[in-house]
Structure 1
């Protein structure tokens, strides 16, 4: 028989466990969420994924060399973080910074393979630097933006021990292209002046950005949440369940994301349009979502040669399973010239 002493002991154990859980939740970020004061800190503490990213970042930062330069670099990053206006911005900044910090102890050598830090996953770039001497080095870029690409192999000349530049010319058909290479602690910062065409690249392709020394792509796989398509972790989880394998298909179409696309249905749903640069007419997606958890999604995929493209339509609204919303139907009408589209109503 349970005595009052037993019940008191049980209640005491339950209270201790509850307090431990609450304490763990409050410390899930890299700082004490109970003391969060700025809007950015409060936003981080309110989101489990952002809290986890902050915790990871703090653990990595604790391992970087203890130097004034690294402290100044971290303060500059924190200023950029605090200027973010939404969760998607924060997720991407954290993802990029985590990649940088994971490579913090990699010795800096100009002559190696470099990979661009790219949380979005649709703007990859690789840079090989060879034949380095005190005056110059050879470089070779390979970069993409959607299905468009760019490649440039030339010579950059040092203007200081940590800075080199390449200036295009008419002979190489790169007049107006200026690339500046700067060492920043463990990474390489590339600044591009001049448009894609001036630098020998396709539409939307750039060589600029931060690079870390790595043989392979060091970036985390993007998600609809990190890309700003899903607005919350719960919505991202619901989309994974609804779309199944087409979750990855939708991510692959999100080279360009429009979070303020037109709603033609008048139902108050948020509409996000996505497409891949260069093949926007048949490699695209649309997501509609409302405050009640209702989802409507269209995923387009190009067919094989001479085969029609395909629209796969998903919704968790039973009454709309066999009816395309006007918003998705309108996007379906904007197909590649002469290309038929097969519509599949997914279960």
Structure 2
């Protein structure tokens, strides 16, 4: 649970923390094999795709209409549910690359490109909810937590009293400081449960996919929540308990070696940077050092939760992050340990009311 939620919703955090002590769960899906069949289109071509997912490894096949197959798929899935697949023909030749996102096990979308990257087509694939496994009791009462999302976008489903037609639930989701809450009765319809809001035109489908509860939103559900908030995703039984992503996962840094050096520089404040880079954007290197500059902020908390990281081509850094009434500044760039480079100084100038604190010691 991020500092954002601890600060903005202390009552909910305290409740979930106490439940977590009584009902801890490991990170979901690490040792579970999920087998899913998708159908949809890549550009105008109809396709069926079968995937086997276990931890971060993905394998499978594609079968196109009017094309011999199947083609073999091999790739990976990261902790933020971004998926990379390479597609090979029966002779082992690379014929395509899928780059996309798996917001839930029942949805897969992104871009397919040819082996040279010259031809690019969008794709959108969906899977039908599977029938329940023998002896499986779906939609168990209790807390379910969304997995595979960054710490700024958690969601919690609480299933309460059941009725002959379905069950009562409360679904709460966040995107930064923005929230969305849906409460009502989901009606059983075969192997899924459906909740609808005819006035807003929003429909939620809840389905069990092995040990995960998958939620898919249809129609206009944005009116039920603040900007950027979404309800789709896979939910694991229990309280959310996943590790934070790294700055490489988030796209702030490029390599694990960079990440290791940055961790050494900022020490215990590394998590503060991670929890601040919710939304991010490249910025100009005003010093002409050939540095990669990224600025980040938490949705709805501009001015209180912001950061900048300037990564030089020599492996050095200048970085700053807001921390209450302070701007914590870190640098091992030659000539900029005591004073920020122009790029960082201009960013710091946006917060004249905050005190600049130079953090010169490593590994504190």
Q: Which structure dedicates a bigger proportion of its chain to strand?
A: 2
Matched, 1:74 2:103: no
Q: 1:178 to 1:280 in 2, by over 3 A?
A: same
The within-5 A match list for 1:198-277 is 198-199=223-224, 201-213=225-237, 215-258=238-281, 260-277=282-299
2:81 to 71, 93, 104: 93
CA contact (8 A) 1:163 1:182 kept: yes
The within-5 A match list for 1:139-150 is 139-150=169-180
Q: 1:132, 1:119 → 2: CA distance?
A: 28
Q: 1:183, 1:257 → 2: CA distance?
A: 34
- Match for residue 317 of structure 2? 295
CA contact (8 A) 1:142 1:150 kept: yes
Q: 1:111, 1:279 → 2: CA distance?
A: 36
Moved over 6 A (4+): 56-59, 94-97
Q: 1:149 to 1:236 in 2, by over 3 A?
A: same
What SS does structure 2 have at the residue aligned with 1:281? coil
What SS does structure 2 have at the residue aligned with 1:286? strand
What do you get for the CA RMSD once the two structures are aligned? 3.7
Matched, 1:182 2:207: yes
- Match for residue 327 of structure 1? 343
**Pairwise CA distance, 1:194:** 5.0
- Match for residue 218 of structure 2? 193
The within-5 A match list for 1:280-319 is 280-303=302-325, 310-319=326-335
CA contact (8 A) 1:180 1:190 kept: yes
**Pairwise CA distance, 1:289:** 0.7
What SS does structure 2 have at the residue aligned with 1:92? coil
**Pairwise CA distance, 1:119:** 4.2
Q: 1:266, 1:145 → 2: CA distance?
A: 35
Instruction: Give the structure-1-normalised TM-score.
Output: 0.65
CA contact (8 A) 2:179 2:226 kept: yes
Q: 1:57, 1:144 → 2: CA distance?
A: 20
**Pairwise CA distance, 1:144:** 1.6
**Pairwise CA distance, 1:75:** 6.1
**Pairwise CA distance, 1:217:** 0.8
**Pairwise CA distance, 1:158:** 2.4
Task: Extract unaligned runs of 5+ from structure 2.
Answer: 1-26, 38-48, 62-72, 84-100, 106-132
Larger Rg: 1
Q: 1:138 to 1:206 in 2, by over 3 A?
A: same
2:139 to 101, 110, 123: 110
**Pairwise CA distance, 1:58:** 11
Q: 2:286, 2:240 → 1: CA distance?
A: 40
Q: Deviations over 1:30-50 (max 9, x none)?
A: xxxxxxxxxxxxxxxxxxxxx
- Match for residue 3 of structure 1? none
Q: 1:186 to 1:109 in 2, by over 3 A?
A: same
Q: 1:122, 1:185 → 2: CA distance?
A: 26
**Pairwise CA distance, 1:245:** 2.1
What SS does structure 2 have at the residue aligned with 1:231? coil
Count of matched residue pairs: 263
Q: Which structure dedicates a bigger proportion of its chain to helix?
A: 1
**Pairwise CA distance, 1:180:** 1.6
Q: 1:75, 1:321 → 2: CA distance?
A: 46
Task: Extract unaligned runs of 5+ from structure 1.
Answer: 1-55, 304-309
Bigger drift between 225-234 and 201-210 goes to 225-234
**Pairwise CA distance, 1:295:** 0.7
Instruction: Give the structure-2-normalised TM-score.
Output: 0.62
